[in-house]
Every structure is written in C-alpha cells, then in structure tokens.
A and B are shown apart, each in its own frame.
Chain A
Amino acid sequence: MQTQIGAPKQKLSFSDPKVRAWLFQIITIVAVVSLGWYLFHNTQTNMQHRGITSGFDFLERSAGFGIAQHLIDYTESDSYARVFVIGLLNTLLVSVIGVVLATLLGFIIGVARLSPNWMINKLATVYVEVFRNIPPLLQILFWYFAVFLTMPLPRNSHNVGDTFFMSSRGLNMPAALASEGFWPFVASVVVAIVAVVLMTRWANKRFEATGVPFHKFWAGLALLIVIPALCTLVFGAPLHWEMPRLAGFNFVGGWVLIPELLALTLALTVYTAAFIAEIVRSGIQSVSHGQTEAAHSLGMRPGPTLRKVIIPQALRVIIPPLTSQYLNLAKNSSLAAGIGYPEMVSLFAGTVLNQTGQAIEVIAITMSVYLAISISISLLMNWYNKRIALIER
C-alpha cells in the first residue's frame, strides 16, 4: 500500500494564523478607509450647508491686518501666504533661540547638579525641581503679564549704558547695519573657516602619522580672529550701529525685541533647560567612574580626560532624549498663542482662521508645518547620533 507523502493540500481555514492575519488586516483597512470616507463625506455635506468653499485660493487674498513682529517686509495689503511665511519665520526664530539658550543653560545646570560643592549642587536641584513642575504656559503668562508688561514706560525705561533700554514696549537695542566693509568681511570669515578646516585635517593627518599633537584649538581661534581682523583693517568696519533714541512716547531707530518674544523665549528656555539639565546629569553619571580612573592611570590630565573620554561617551546617552526636548521646545513655541506673539498658531491658526473661516485648510497647513519641523529635527539628530554612536565589533 502506498501512502501519499507530502504537504497536505492547503485549505482556507480560520484556524490558520496566516489566514486570520490576512482577514484581520483586510477588516482593519476596510474599517479605517470607511471611517475616513465617512468623515470626509460629513465634512463635505457640512461645508456645503454652511456655504464654505474649500481650496487654497484664500492664500492669495489680502490679509488686511497688522503684525507686531515680521522678519520680512510686510504691509496690511500683503497676502495670507505672506502672513503664513511670517508666522513660520517667527516660530523658527523662537525655536532656534530657545534651543541654543536652553542647551547652554541646561548643560551648565546639569554639570552644577554634579558639583561636589554643596551650595551649587543644591541651587541647581532647586532650579530643576521648581521649573520643570510648573506648566510652560503658566510660566509664559507669568513672565509676560507679571514681569515684562509691568516694566516702566519707555520714558522711564531701565537704561543700560545708553545702548539698551528695557521698557514695557520691549528691549530696545542698537541695530547693526551693514557698511561698505560688510561683504569683504563675510568673505574673510568664509576664508577663515576654510583655513581652519584645512588646518584641522592637516593636523589630524600629522597626528596619526607621527603622533605629534598640534594645538588645533588655539591655532583655529587665531585664524578665525586674525583673518577677519586684517580684512577689517584693509576695507573698514563691516557694521555700524544705529542707536535707539527716545522720541515722544516711544523709541525710534535700533532694533526692538517685543515683550512677547522676550517672555516666550525666557519661559521656554528656563522650562526646557530644567529638563536638559536632568538629561545631562544622567548622561554624565552613566559613564562609569572606572573610565575616569583608567584615563588618569594612562597619564591623561583632567581636561583631556573630560574632553576625550567622558564627554564622548556621555553624549551617546544624552543625544536621543535631548532630541525629544528640542522637539518639545519647537512644539511648545505654539503656546505663544496665549500671549499673542505672532507665530504659526496664534497668527495663522488664530487670526487667519478667524478671518477666512477656512478651518480645514488652515489647520492642515499648521499641522503639516509642525510635522515637517519635527521630522527634520529628528532626522538631523538621528544623523548626528549615528555619527557618534558606538561602532560595536
């Protein structure tokens, strides 16, 4: 008797996990698509009933309102598209300033939390515990309504050396304007940077070949100072300063940082720095003490030990959570809506939405801007993280 040996004929049965998986996925996709279609359908009918026309034509129309701070030229007759660009630039401005300042402050406080000095240590701890447990919006409102708006009027403003004036209208400071030496100066800076890069490459190559170290930092600094300085001597100063002066009830001339911007950046910096400090502290603590001892026993001095042994290893732990803090800061800049700083949310999703009534388009644009910012920051930081990650053998 011969028996049939081989795979039994495949039957479609619910007890087969593969079949079940397919079934589940098909059901899910159908459910998601129909939900999406249902929402879309509802939206269409609702918009027809309310007489809202969809589309992005509204971006061409004239906005007709003033904006307190615009980095590019703007008049009330400009289009909504230009308003969008201004909002985006203002968001980016706050995010960039906030990231830089919060990183600096956060690193200082993070290191201070590890200080053997009891006072410094406790001060840093108090800072972290106080500021990270208060909502950022509350901090923004506090700085804005309780600090910057209660500053004296321009006439009695706090005056620092007749150059900086702090009043309820903001911080007035001298404006840097380009003079004839400006472009040569820019060119000389570019030349200096190229020179530093070349010098570093040469020094690294020589160090690898011969083991003779080279003072890269000091030489680089010298190059960066000497070349532009020479250029300034030849072509004249790159900038001249325009001083703010009091005329009537307000200042004219110079640059002004509006109180909304000051309150927002200050609050975001202080809030995010508390989180960054904790990240830095845990990052440095994650490098075992044996590493320091090993470096010392090799004869490295404390400075190079920190730079070449501790920090590179700590950075690997610090970078991923630091990225998410940067993302949080960029997203938290939208809290400006609470004090009316003209950025994406308050300007575009607030004023423009109210004026045009194009809810779907405006919210969609706003959300995609934030998604784009989030994705680009994470891509950038992932690239950096990959570069410094440990290559395990």
Chain B
Amino acid sequence: MSTHTFKPDMPPPGKVFGPMAWVRANLFSSWLNTLLTLLAFYLVYLVVPPILQWAILDANWVGTTRADCTKEGACWVFIQQRFGQFMYGYYPSDLRWRVDLTVWLAIVGAAPLFISRLQRKAVYGLGFLVVYPIVAFFLLHGGVFGLTNVATSQWGGLMLTLVIATVGIAGALPLGIMLALGRRSNMPAIRVICVTFIEFWRGVPLITVLFMASVMLPLFLPEGMSFDKLLRALIGVILFQSAYVAEVVRGGLQAIPKGQYEAAAAMGLGYWRSMGLVILPQALKLVIPGIVNTFIALFKDTSLVIIIGLFDLLNSVKQAAADPKWLGMATEGYVFAALVFWIFCFGMSRYSIHLERKLDTGHKR
C-alpha cells in the first residue's frame, strides 16, 4: 500500500484575503463607492493637513509673552501662561493645593467602587457620598480648622465646572427619584403636581432657569436673606436637572415587570419598603447608563453659567482671550476648552457604553 501524500496548500487567493482584498471590498466595491472614497479622501486632505500644520507643526510651544509667538501656527504659550486661571479661576495660587487635594480625595475615595471583588460596596458608596461632600466643601471653602476662607466668587475654571456638575447631579438624583415615584403614584394630586413640575422644567431652556435663579430668587426669599451667586445657580441647575433625572428613572421603573411589584406586595411589604428593597434597586441599575448620559448633558450645560457671570472653564477662556495682552488668541483658547470638555464627555460616554454592556443581565423585556 502506498501512502498518499497531499499536495502543499495553495496560497490564499489575493482577491479574497489580504489587505488588497480588504481595500477592494471596503473602499472600491463599485463605481459609486470608489467615488465616495475619493471624495472622502479629498475631504480629509482639505481638513486634516491645515489643522495639523496649525496645531502642531507651525505652533509656538515655548515662551512667556505674545511676542514669543513668531511662527504662523497656534500660540500654545497663551494656554501655558493662563493654565492656572483655566483650571482654578481666581482661586489664590498658594491655596490651590486644596483644590488638588479635593480632586485626589475624590479619585482615591471612589476607586474602591470600581473594584468588582470588593464586598459591601453599597454601604461604602453611601458613606462616601455622605462624607465626601462635607469634606470637599470645607476644603474648598475653608473658614474652619485654620483654613483661609476662599469666597465662591473666587472659584472658577475647570474646578467650578466640576463643582456645578457634581453638585448638580448629586442634588438632582434624590429629587428626581422622588419625582419619578410621584409621577407613577396612584394618588392623583401627587401625580398632577409631579407631572406639572417635571414638564415645566423640561419645557424651558436652562438659560431662562439660570436667569430666574439669579434675578427672581432674591425676590422670592424673605427680606435680608440672600444667597451667593454660585448657590443660586446651583439651585437652578438642581431643579432643572431633577426633571430630566426623573424621566430617566421613570423609564427604569416602567421596565420593571409588574410581577415584581405584585411579588413585593405579596411579601407584605408596604409602599416604601417594596420600592426601596425590590423595585428601585433593579430600576436604578437599569438606568445607570441613562443617568450617566444626563450627567454628560449637565456637564456640557454647566458652560451656560457664563450668562450669569460665573467664571467656569469657558468663561475663563473667554475672559482671557479678551485680555489686551493676548488679543487674537480666541481660537487657541476655544480649541483648548473644547478639548477639555471633549475628553470628559467622550470618556464618560465610553464608560456609559461599557456599563450598559456590563449591567445587561439579559433580563430586558
């Protein structure tokens, strides 16, 4: 018996596999596709090289004044010189370590929440949520334990943006959950009040809310009582944002099958315990990505405080660009601000997508 030897394998046909085949299939599969590809390449050619040229190749990186920007491209010296103002606003420069410390505390404190093997995360998380804001407030504001008082009018830059966004969402979450529960309540009076509240805030732009908070709030309060500007803006932001959070949470509540409500009732749980122990834990888990998305929207919306004269990141940039010493630097400033906002928002949106995948238990209806 003779043994049969196979012939060696043929090389893969170049038209089906390999980079050339990929290019053929994905870029030049038909004459229309070829046209589109060429058009796209032309577009990229029009847009990308000038931007690279301006932002990197021809840019000025070293120097201290405007006169050092001798090359054609962007003058990043401006950003370097004003970096402190963009990050901290008018916060006294020798006290800026307090802002840094607050941020580091947040990162270190929140880190255990992202370790999936840790036990009792909910207890820790709640404790963190209660303790951290108090610590952060005293660190930033000062006035106790020998810390110098820094008035909120001196807060600014990215720090103020972060303060407004985090306080806004932290305040809006509990209020929004209550509103969502109220909207699904069986009691008509409560339902009507909640629906009116939610639809009112969702129907008006945030700008008018901020206007209202800054000019009308002082009129609403009893004589002699007045808030500072930041607190007024925060109240406006919280009320506005709670309506959006309420709608997101309502979506989660509606997604919980009726059987869960009935099961909770059959166990003899009253309204608050069935909500707190059965419904909300499931519903909130479902809507975490939605809440992250509202947070992104809020983060972008914080830039509106420019209208009532708070110096957040965007307003700091606008202010710095109007400085006679740095005239004509508007483009650099706005590009920098856009980059910062973009990094935060894009990062959070990626995280939200990741959460959505991770939390998907396959129980969706």
Contacts and interface: CB of A to CB of B under 8 A. Distances in A.
Interface of A: 21, 24-25, 28-29, 32, 39, 42-43, 45-47, 49, 115-120, 123, 129-130, 132-139, 141-142, 145-146, 150, 331-332, 334-335, 337-338, 345, 349, 353, 359-360, 363, 366-367, 370-371, 374-375
B193 A32 contact: yes
B138 to A, nearest CB: 30
Interface stretch (B55-63, B253-261, B338-346): B338-346
B207 A334 contact: yes
A284 to B, nearest CB: 18
Interface of B: 26-27, 29, 33, 36-37, 40-41, 43-44, 186-190, 193, 200, 202-208, 211-212, 215-216, 218-223, 296, 300-301, 303-304, 306-307, 314, 318, 321, 330-331, 334-335, 337-338, 341-342, 345-346, 349
Q: Which of B193, B223, B342 has the most CB of A within 10 A?
A: B342
Contacts of A24: 187, 190
Contacts of B44: 119, 123
Interface of A is mostly: helix
A97 B300 CA distance: 23
Contacts of A366: 208, 211
Contact of B318 (A43, A136, A141): A141
B204 A371 contact: yes
Contacts of B29: 116-117
6 contacts: A39-B220, A42-B222, A42-B223, A116-B26, A117-B33, A363-B212
A345 B212 CA distance: 11
Given A116-B26, A119-B37, A25 B189 contact: yes
Contacts of A360: 216, 219
A137 B304 contact: yes
Contacts of B346: 129, 133
Contact of A138 (B40, B216, B321, B337): B337
Contacts of B304: 137, 335
A135 B26 contact: no
A335 B207 CA distance: 7
Nearest to A370: B204
Nearest to B182: A28
A130 B220 contact: no
B189 A118 contact: no
Nearest to B214: A359
Nearest to A45: B223
Contacts of A349: 208, 211
